[in-house]
Amino acid sequence: MARYIFITGGVVSSLGKGLASAALGALLQARGYTVRLRKLDPYLNVDPGTMSPFEHGEVFVTDDGAETDLDLGHYERFTGVHARTTDSISSGRIYSNVLEKERRGDYLGKTIQVIPHVTNEIKDFLRIGDNEVDFMLCEIGGTVGDIEGLPFFESIRQFIHERPRGQSILMHLTLLPYLSASGELKTKPTQHSVKELQSIGLAPDVLVCRSEHPIPERELEKIALFCNVRKEAVVPAYDLKTIYEAPLAYHRAGLDQAVLDAFGITPAPKPNLSRWEDVMDRITHPEGEVRVAIVGKYTQLEDAYKSIAEALTHGGMANRTKVRAEWIDSEIFEREDPAPYLESFNAILVPGGFGERGTEGKIKAATFAREKKVPYLGICLGMQMAVIEASRNLAGIPDAGSEEFDHEARAKRFTPVVYHLKEWVQGNHTVRRKADDAKGGTMRLGAYTANLKAGSRVAQVYGTTVIEERHRHRYEVDAKYIEGLEKCGLIFSGMSPDGRLPEIVEVKDHPWFIGVQFHPELKSKPFAPHPLFADFIRAAKEAERLV
């Protein structure tokens, strides 16, 4: 039976619950325990798949095709444990499940209520796989007191009460604001947050206090006294230069020891932190620097490309190189020449996205990279833009474009070298979709196999000719244009096993130009950088030496 750690937040949002959860998971692994991390989100969307990146940041996709919160990316990057559909749930999914059961008559005519029906559904979710690992870490989104989160907090209260004593603990993150006028750290917001928790029947076993200033000993003692928590279980958490310092920083602050003490695990195995010491050594002692331009359409919110930013950092670590990623709004290139913006960069990355806005600018970035021999990595839409660019400028299809843009404009304007994917093979069955299907959960989602062309650059990068990568798209490059494009210097070096869906394209006689239909950034980790990103930064490093 797994031990459960519930992670909640108070005072304000964006305190770093996801990062604290991921770091704690990594520390428990360092002590030899197995872990799984989960996210419970109070919003009423069934999943974040239909949310704008400006609303919720990046959508993280699992191998089994779940569209989840970006915190699951942190969990995977820090622990290496692949997330599953059963590691993410929202109020929308919970209520949807309850209503489906009610419609089927599963409740035998009873009146459906939040307690017990909604709370039971949440508890059933929590129990999934609780015999698979030593520790189950469950993060609850939002802050204590949010009306949407109340069913989750009530479910946790019941869950802890129903399990054997000492099998579940609560870890609560709060903010200690600093008032410069009085020169003081204020503990009252933390006290009020804990009081709010206690009012719904929950009491924290461990308090993590975020602060921009050192927390004096007397303030830690005050928090422990007023919040009814042992002083050793009040853990300070300060701002860090890099998120990858979090496991070492939290260990120094005593977080993992406080958690193990709360479970009564004494003596606890000593941690082996060599993995994280190596990670920090690679970040803090680079032997060079490269500049990478990320030409995207959601650049105002860096969380929209969170996994890409981290995968670039990992690629830099693999090469002991500092990666200075700079964000450029692709719409600028629709009005101005991209050359003055891009000529000082060592590499260009064009990420995914949805809709026509900014795509002409992405196409111009691909043209610049191809013609100027600058290393280029196109991901999802970034690959499609590279194919459209080659179709227009090399293959003699001046009106090449994507069906996505015609569907959006409700007008036929382009020759669709990228088309709406209506049928594909998933496992042992065929999936069929129509352009007017509901948006939620209808894309090509999750891990799919691709076969690589022997002798191609990507085959050399991966060191194999069979790979498995995660997808999230509903438009695909049309295979009927492959022959014409390959005559113009493109190489379709990765295809689906049935040979119908192009997965990877590269440019012949170019130092490094690769477009991929999938999202390699989702599988990159600091201690296991994704091979594409590692080689992309190697190529950028070579380009930097030639300048």
The answer to whether 521 is a known catalytic residue is yes
- Which residues is 140 bridged to in the sheet? 40
Q: Measure the CA–CA gap between 203 and 503, rounded to whole angstroms.
A: 50
Q: Does 297 belong to an annotated binding site?
A: no
Q: Does 222 belong to an annotated binding site?
A: yes
Handedness of CA 222, 224, 230, 234 (dihedral sign): negative
Q: Please, what's the b/e burial string for 266-300 (b: 16 or more CB within 10 A of its CB; e: otherwise)?
A: eebeebebeebeebbebbeeeeeebbbbbbbbbbe
Note whether 535 and 524 are within 8 A (CB).
no
Q: Does 469 belong to an annotated binding site?
A: no
Q: Does 402 belong to an annotated binding site?
A: no
Q: Measure the CA–CA gap between 72 and 63, rounded to whole angstroms.
A: 12
Q: Does 397 belong to an annotated binding site?
A: no
Q: Does 256 belong to an annotated binding site?
A: no
Q: Does 498 belong to an annotated binding site?
A: no
Q: Does 413 belong to an annotated binding site?
A: no
Q: Does 383 belong to an annotated binding site?
A: yes
Residue among 58, 67, 380, 530 flagged as catalytic: 380
Q: Does 146 belong to an annotated binding site?
A: yes
- Which residue type is seen at 318? A
Q: Does 164 belong to an annotated binding site?
A: no
Q: Does 167 belong to an annotated binding site?
A: no
Q: Does 326 belong to an annotated binding site?
A: no
Q: Measure the CA–CA gap between 439 and 213, rounded to whole angstroms.
A: 45
User: For residue 117, what are the contacts with CB-CB under 8 A and spacing of at least 6?
Assistant: 98, 107, 110
Burial category of 489 from C-beta neighbours within 10 Å (exposed 0-12, middle 13-18, buried 19 and up): middle
In terms of Cα–Cα distance, which of 451, 19, 84 is closest to 246?
19
Q: Does 41 belong to an annotated binding site?
A: no
Helix segments in 330-426, DSSP class H: 339-342, 359-371, 381-393, 403-409
User: For residue 437, what are the contacts with CB-CB under 8 A and spacing of at least 6?
Assistant: none
Q: Does 18 belong to an annotated binding site?
A: yes
The answer to whether 380 is a known catalytic residue is yes
- Which residue type is seen at 541? K
Q: Does 7 belong to an annotated binding site?
A: no
Q: Does 186 belong to an annotated binding site?
A: yes
Neighbours of 343 (CB within 10 A): 11
| DSSP string computed for 9-32 | E-SSS-S-HHHHHHHHHHHHHHTT
Q: Measure the CA–CA gap between 464 and 471, rounded to whole angstroms.
A: 19
Q: Measure the CA–CA gap between 1 and 133, rounded to whole angstroms.
A: 8
Q: Does 357 belong to an annotated binding site?
A: no
* Residue 162, CB-side half-sphere exposure with 13 Å CA sphere: 12
- Tell the residue number behind the tokens 């907090």, with chain if given: 153
Q: Does 427 belong to an annotated binding site?
A: no
In terms of Cα–Cα distance, which of 370, 395, 347 is closest to 506?
370
Q: Does 21 belong to an annotated binding site?
A: no
Q: Measure the CA–CA gap between 62 and 85, rounded to whole angstroms.
A: 7
Residue among 58, 121, 389, 521 flagged as catalytic: 521
Q: Does 240 belong to an annotated binding site?
A: yes
Q: Does 13 belong to an annotated binding site?
A: yes
The answer to whether 473 is a known catalytic residue is no
Annotated binding site for L-glutamine: 353, 381-384, 404, 474
Annotated binding site: 13-19, 71, 139, 146-148, 186-191, 222, 240, 353, 381-384, 404, 474
- Residues with catalytic roles: 380, 519, 521
Annotated binding site for ATP: 14-19, 71, 240
Annotated binding site for CTP: 13, 146-148, 186-191, 222
Annotated binding site for Mg(2+): 71, 139
Annotated binding site for UTP: 13, 186-191, 222
